[in-house]
Each structure stands twice: as C-alpha cells, then as structure tokens.
Structure 1
C-alpha cells in the first residue's frame, strides 16, 4: 500500500506548492519506493492542467513535458507488469522518469536524453566527496568579491591603494595605503561549506576560519579598540596590545582580550568560547564572565562556564575530527559543513548517540561515514551532495 504522505507530496509537487524540506523528503521517499507502488501511485494521480516543469533550458523543458504526458496519460501499471519488457526499457524506467522530473525542480542535473521516452536516462551521480580545501571569498567595502583558493599565492588584488596577498603559509594579508585622514574601510571574509582559510589582521593577530564561517574587520585598527565581527567558527591568536583591547562581536556575546588564543563557535542558537591560553572576558546578558585556560563559556538561554579539554575544540585546525562524547547531531552538522553535503534523515527522531574517537579530516567522505557506521546504529548512502541517513 502506498504511503499516503507520498501521494500528498507528489500532488503538492505537481501544483508547485512544495517547501524545500518537503522536496527533500519526497526525493528520499522516491529513492526507496518499489517500482510497482510507484506505478500505482502515478496511475491514480490527476495531473493539474497548470503544471509545467520549471527548467531554464527550453529543450529540456519540452522533453520533460513529453515525459509528463507519458507518465500520466498512459498506464504504467500495464507496462511494468508485462512479461517481456519492451526493447530498451528497464525495470526502473518509470522511477527514473519521475526522478528526472523532480530533479529539475530540486536542482539535480539531467544528462543525455536520446530517442523515445522508453530509453534510458543517464543521471550522473557523484559516489564520493572530497574534504574541505582552502577557499575563501573576500567582499570589499565596494561590494566587489574576490575568490581566493589554494592555487593563488602572492598578490591577488590591487586597487585604489588596497593590496591583498596570500602568503606561502596560506594566510590572507593586506595593506591599505589609502588610509590618510579617512575612516577605515571594512572587509568581510567568508568561507563556504567545504572551505577554510587563514588571515592576518592589521595588528598581527592570526585568525583561522572553519567552513561556513565569516569575519568582518577593518583594514586598519584606529582608536583605542580593535573590533571584529564573527559568525561560524574561528580560532584567534591575538597580538598583545595592552593599550588597545581586542573585541570579538557575535550574535550572543562579546569577547574582550588583550593578548591570548581562543576558539569561538557562534550561530543563532548559541555561542561557545574555549580559552586555550591567556585570559578572556565574555560579556553576555549584561554580565562579565572571566575564563581561565581550559575553560569554556556556552551562551544560549543562559550562560554556563565549565572545564573542558581545550585541545579538542581546536582539533579542526589540525584537520582532525575529535569526538569526545560528542552528540550525533552536532557531529553530522560538522560533516555537512566540512564536506559541503546535506544530510537527509529517514527517521526524524535521531538517537542521542555519544561518539568518541579521532578521525582525519583529510579523508574522503565515504571513509568517514564508514567510521560513523561502525559506531552507531545508522548507515549512510552518498547521492551526489546528499547523504541518506537510515537506521539499521
């Protein structure tokens, strides 16, 4: 018997009312649906007159219209149940055709269509994913964007007195000779999912950005403060200057230091500051919290300061996943950011699995997932940039 929710989702797709979450769920359900059930489902769904696949290329659009007509105007039940399939057809033909239609809306890529609708559709699937690499986007005050990757070393930008370089050590550095009696201009460096970078600020402070993170900072620090703004995860090694405190602003808090090293994770739900050496003051909810090396402040609905193994929080800098009773959800979020993939869960109730161990971040995604499979009750399947997550 066909899942009633699947029928609802297919009908919503045909009327262009699916949300992005529902589209992901629909594709996951279609991946698991037997051919016979798919045929029955299609046979009993009325196609809206207004339905048109949203595809940029006219040629592909026309072909998908023809697929739609064959899918919903012929009897797929009769065709799938024939003793001798037609020449050129396959046992998963109808599933492939529907997947092709849905792929167009979700952003998959359709390749090579030849002949009649009964012929094979070739959908290129990437069976493995490489780990993150040094990639960053620099947004200038003018709105201009510069891409910096592992292939670029030396001067990468020079205009209006601003010079941006990438050192042999992989650090983004800059010089601004236009700052004469002017307010400092701000730069924003963003690392996408699957990317990371290093940079050196005007005062000599070193910053390392993890994947899916950003920092906004002035080309030169003026006055008695050094202020930067961070989202995501970043490690700081702050240059000491007792006359000018260094302040890191994020959604939940502000960190003030003179010279120290610490790791910061900041998103809309919480901020987590782990002190490696020196001392920091965390300002949150109108109160000051002073950390010692090996302590961590977590700011969410309330502020909690606790002792931790500080080296675990900066293991990502050495390209390692370190799990120390880490939650399964947080681990998979790290994996998503590092490999630029999307986790698709077949069961919304994820077990509260606690993981322990160390894995290199330099391995391909399939190798990491094998380790997770051995330590959990879940199995993983890579489909392009999606990872299907199921219970055993």
Structure 2
C-alpha cells in the first residue's frame, strides 16, 4: 500500500493525476492529524497508518490552484515516504516577484561538451545525431536518444589520446565507453578516458559525480581516480560523488565488489555499502547502514533526501538548476526527508521547501536564503 501511495503522490506532484486521483490526494491531506507539539514515535506510526488507510477512491472536486497542489502533495510525500509528519509549521508564501523569477528557472537537461585529443570541442547538445568523429579506428557517435557511444570499427594499434566529456551546471549526459562500460554523468562533472583502453587496465578520471555500470573484463580491472581516491573493480555497478564542495567523498556500491584506496588506506565494499572519505582528516570509513537507492536517485531523475540539512540540499539544487546560493542570518538546521522530481522547475521545488520556512530572494542567477 505504501508503494502505491508514493507512486500516486509522485504523479500528483508532476501534474499527471486524473481528476479522481487528485481528489483522493486532496481529501487525504485535509484529514491529516496535525497537533501543536512534536509527535512521539508511536504517534508518527499511528498517523502513518491512518493516512495510508485513507487512500480509497472518494472523488471530490476542489478548486485548488496548481502551486497549492504542489505544496500539498509535497507535504504528503514527505510524510509517506519516510513516515514523518510535519507538525506546527506555518507556511509563509513566496513573494510574487520571486515566484515569477523562480518559474523561469527550468531544470537541467542533456547538455555536455566532448573535448577530443587534438583539443577540438564538440557541443553535444547542438551536435546532430550520427557519427561525430573517427579516431584510430574508433567511431564516436551521438545516438538518437542523445547519448554518446564509441564503436570500434578497426582494431586500434595503441592508445592514441584521451577524450573528456564535461557537463555544466544544469547538464547531464550518458556515455558508452569503448569497452562497453556505461557512465551517467551528473551536473557539473567531467570524465577523462583514453581511447582505446590499455591492454592491462581501464583507467578513467572523474570530477564531480557519476554512476558506472562497468563491462566485465577479468584481464583488465577498471579504475576510477576521483580527487584523492582510487576505486578499482572488474565489473560492477557503483556511484561516486566526489564534488570539491562536498564535505565527504562517497562511493556507493549497488552490485559486485569494489576496492577504494586513499593514500595508504584501503577498504573493500559489498553491495549496499558505502565508502566515505573525509579530506579534512584523511579518514576513510565504510558505512553499512545506508539506502543505496538514495545515492543513485539522481540518475533516475529524482532528488532523494534522507535526514539532510538545507545546505546539503541546496548544493544539489544549485548544480542542477545552474544557480548560485548565498545565505543570510541563522539558517535552519532541521533535517529533510522525501523526494522531489528533478523535472520540476525551481518554483515547484521551493513551494516544497517553504513548508520548512525557507525564505527566498532572487537576483539574476543568485538565490539568497534568509534564516529566521
């Protein structure tokens, strides 16, 4: 039931519900049991079960504007996704001027550049579908669905150079490397790799964040250098978040096995585990108590927050919407839970965040968040 509820709320948030489904969600929300004081664990669980039990078709018509729909659906999604009810929160509307500017800030999309070995740069967003270049028997091609792939036509004699694919803020891209490895690049990231790979290893360099599905090759381990850490695998699925502005560098394993090395330290991960490296004190730890799906949600077009503070959330949002964020005053340390579609425009995102009193001002591409 909980999974069905979450799916319905996601449809509601993206504007894809039927009139009957909208009525279900709105009726559900209006009956949420709010109270003045923070709930106990027992009260949260009881409220959770009561809310889920109300997801029965009872069509009603309510004249609720689209922006209010978003705020309502978001509050329910936050509640259902992790069993948390928001209590005693006064919703303060975003000023009209800010609303107009926020509406115009659209989410990111497929956008990247490819830098070839000779230094020439191809704008992949503007490039036509088909062959882009041929290098040492390898054809670089843009597919109809906007991805980059390498096709080996003639057996290359040796490594003849490197390519770098780079996404800007507000961009993303998927590339299939010469060995068949698939890589999804998040916003503000870059991947540098040789063509073809060497005979004894496959080595790439990452800045930012990427999800890898590595093609199996027992003779050639796949190595990713990301800032100070080295991740080595034979064939597996994993995510690396190594942005320079993040306090921790995180490698999350979904399938297979990986080895993460930093300096003289080394750890091995099993599926569902995460290596965390703190550059400030060069500490490398393994966290076995994570939800790996949260760390690859971006690849599936979702922001997923699990006990994250506002500044952590804003780092993700600033990269995806290509905005700068500054802070004034005392910023809330409250934690956020739930999911927001990455297809939403910036106004929709902040109609959700304002439920926890996020005050926003916009000037050009700079967003100022003012604390209480």
TM score, norm. by length of structure 1: 0.64
1:208 equivalent in alignment to 2:190? no
1:271 equivalent in alignment to 2:249? yes
2:231 & 2:102 partners in 1: Cα distance?
Answer: 42
Aligned residues: 267
Deviation at 1:327, TM superposition (A): 2.1
1:283 equivalent in alignment to 2:265? no
Classify the secondary structure of the residue corresponding to 2:337: strand
C-alpha RMSD of matched pairs (Å): 2.2
Deviation at 1:304, TM superposition (A): 1.6
State the match for 1:225 in structure 2: 201
Deviation at 1:344, TM superposition (A): 2.3
- Structure 1 residues 42-79: Cα deviation after superposition (integer angstroms, max 9, x where no partner): xxxxxxxxxxxxxxxxxxxxxxxxxxxxxxxxxxxxxx
Deviation at 1:373, TM superposition (A): 1.0
State the match for 2:235 in structure 1: 259
1:239 equivalent in alignment to 2:215? yes
Query: Which residues of structure 2 form unaligned runs of 5+?
Result: 1-99
Distance change in 2, residues 1:158/1:257 (3 Å): closer
Larger RCO (CA under 8 A, 6+ residues apart)? 2
Residues 125-136 of structure 1 aligned to structure 2 (within 5 Å): 128-136=104-112
350, 361, 366: which one aligns with 2:347: 366
Classify the secondary structure of the residue corresponding to 2:239: strand
Deviation at 1:140, TM superposition (A): 1.1
Distance change in 2, residues 1:172/1:241 (3 Å): same
Deviation at 1:222, TM superposition (A): 1.8
1:142 equivalent in alignment to 2:124? no
- Structure 1 residues 8-58: Cα deviation after superposition (integer angstroms, max 9, x where no partner): xxxxxxxxxxxxxxxxxxxxxxxxxxxxxxxxxxxxxxxxxxxxxxxxxxx
TM score, norm. by length of structure 2: 0.67
Deviation at 1:370, TM superposition (A): 1.2
Deviation at 1:273, TM superposition (A): 0.2
Deviation at 1:351, TM superposition (A): 2.9
- Structure 1 residues 297-352: Cα deviation after superposition (integer angstroms, max 9, x where no partner): 111121121121000000001110111101211110000000000112222x4332
340, 362, 367: which one aligns with 1:387: 367
Distance change in 2, residues 1:180/1:311 (3 Å): closer
1:226 & 1:150 partners in 2: Cα distance?
Answer: 30
Deviation at 1:180, TM superposition (A): 4.6
Query: Which residues of structure 1 form unaligned runs of 5+?
Result: 1-123
Q: Does the 8 Å contact 1:225/1:245 carry over to 2? A: yes
Deviation at 1:178, TM superposition (A): 8.2
Distance change in 2, residues 1:200/1:141 (3 Å): same
